[in-house]
Amino acid sequence: MYPPAVPPEIRRVDPNELPAWLEAITTTFLDRPDVVAMTRQVTEHWDFQRVWGAFDGRVVGTLRTWATELTVPGGGHVPASAVTAVTVLPTHRRRGVMRSMIGAEHDAARDRGEILGLLYASEAPIYGRFGYGTGVTTCSWTIDRRSTAFQGPPASGVDFAPINVETRDLMRDLYDRHRLAQVGEIRRRDFTFGLDLALIEFAWEPPWKGWVIVHRDAAGQPDGYARYSAEAKWEERQPRSVLNVQDLVALTDEAYDALWTFLIEVDLVATVKAERRSLDERIPWRLTNRRAAKPTEIGDGLWVALLDIPRALEARTYERAGDLVLEVIDAEPGSGRTRVRLEAGSDGVRCAPTTADPDLMVHADALGAAYLGGTPLRHAVLARGYDEGRPGALVAADALFRTLDEPRCMTFF
């Protein structure tokens, strides 16, 4: 009888087991890349303390994480575990294998001192039960450039950059300065920038082919870049090409405007599309016809789980004063509840375990969703429910967690 009744062993993967591990993940993700080439390409970049497998004589489940940090309200940078590659073979699904792998990784993340778990979800219903909530909402902007123009001066200070290691290093530097100041953004892995420019091979994805433009300020200092590709199209002898913007990083409003102006004014283009952006962007307001910029594919972006609730709540700032006893119903079975007192005032933030009566009881995923200030707690609690020990505590907590600026994350992993 297959699969056997004994649950698979959950453990870290040895580098020589990587081909079998990649075979399992690509099977579950319904793809057939060259796993031998992939093994060669990824081995030097991965931390094998963070590569998990479920084994029953062969690999039947996969999960991998990497170390990052997240910029939180107030500008703090919080260590986090970025979870990816979660798969279980169709022969072993719905037997608790994913649950066991996530439990093992969360324990390991806590041991490493990581305060948050972060991920992108293939399907929305999966991760709430593990304490993850949608912390950042993203959208694509689709701009019908035939029906609008950019309002403002022509793009100046923008030029093409060659696709080489110098441009990769420049992008890495600009991106890092950007993410350190952007709530919701994360540190990217070093090799990402080489992969993005197809300077590194990766057998699972066709190589990127496109252009990089860089903006320089009046003093000639680079302060923004965009990376884009194009689909050349003609319809009835009319140019209808689509320009796909993969990354647009700007340290100033001037750089943002100049990069967008450049992209919108490229000839032969009917549509400009930028993925993983924020709803809260200034681009529509810079167009002569605001309706030409449509947000599409609006939905969950980065998911956040608080692995250490007191430290996570103390790591961010709050735009209002508040004093709240919060009881969080932990996601993982058997782990119970965490009760903390959160005090935010002009003299700073304190959050510590308490035995005081709770003002508000919420589930862990709702707190994860509200953590970055963009998702209203009063909406997030609707997924699993809440309870008030003090009338009005939910509205007060909702106001405490919200921030004026929306968190943003354009880094997918």
State which of positions 14-73 bind ligand COA (CB under 6 A): 28
Count of positions on this chain that bind ligand COA (CB under 6 A): 17
Separation between Cα atoms, residue 292 and residue 150, nearest integer Å: 11
Nearer to ligand COA, 18 or 86 (CB): 86
Separation between Cα atoms, residue 214 and residue 201, nearest integer Å: 24
Q: Active-site residue numbers?
A: 127, 413
Nearer to ligand COA, 89 or 397 (CB): 89
Nearer to ligand COA, 286 or 363 (CB): 363
Q: Which of 17, 123, 4, 128 is nearest to 64 (CA)?
A: 17
Angle at 401 between CA 349 and CA 65, to 5 degrees: 90
Smallest distance, Å, CB 138 to ligand COA? 15
Smallest distance, Å, CB 209 to ligand COA? 27
297 torsion bin: left (phi>0), alpha (psi -120 to 50), beta (else): left
Pattern 85-124, binding to ligand COA, x per CB under 6 A?
-xxx----xxxxxxx---------------------xxx-
Pattern 122-161, binding to ligand COA, x per CB under 6 A?
xx-xx--x--------------------------------
Q: How far apart are the first and last CA of the chain?
A: 37
Nearer to ligand COA, 126 or 170 (CB): 126
Separation between Cα atoms, residue 91 and residue 348, nearest integer Å: 52
Nearer to ligand COA, 334 or 391 (CB): 334
Smallest distance, Å, CB 40 to ligand COA? 24
Smallest distance, Å, CB 56 to ligand COA? 13
Contacting residues for 150 by C-beta, under 8 A, at least 6 apart: 257, 260, 261, 264, 265, 286, 287, 288
Q: Which of 309, 373, 364, 310 is nearest to 74 (CA)?
A: 373
Residue 153 dihedral angles phi and psi, to the nearest 5°: -70, 155
Q: Which of 403, 395, 409 is nearest to 373 (CA)?
A: 403
Binding site for ligand COA (CB under 6 A): 28, 86-88, 93-99, 121-123, 125-126, 129
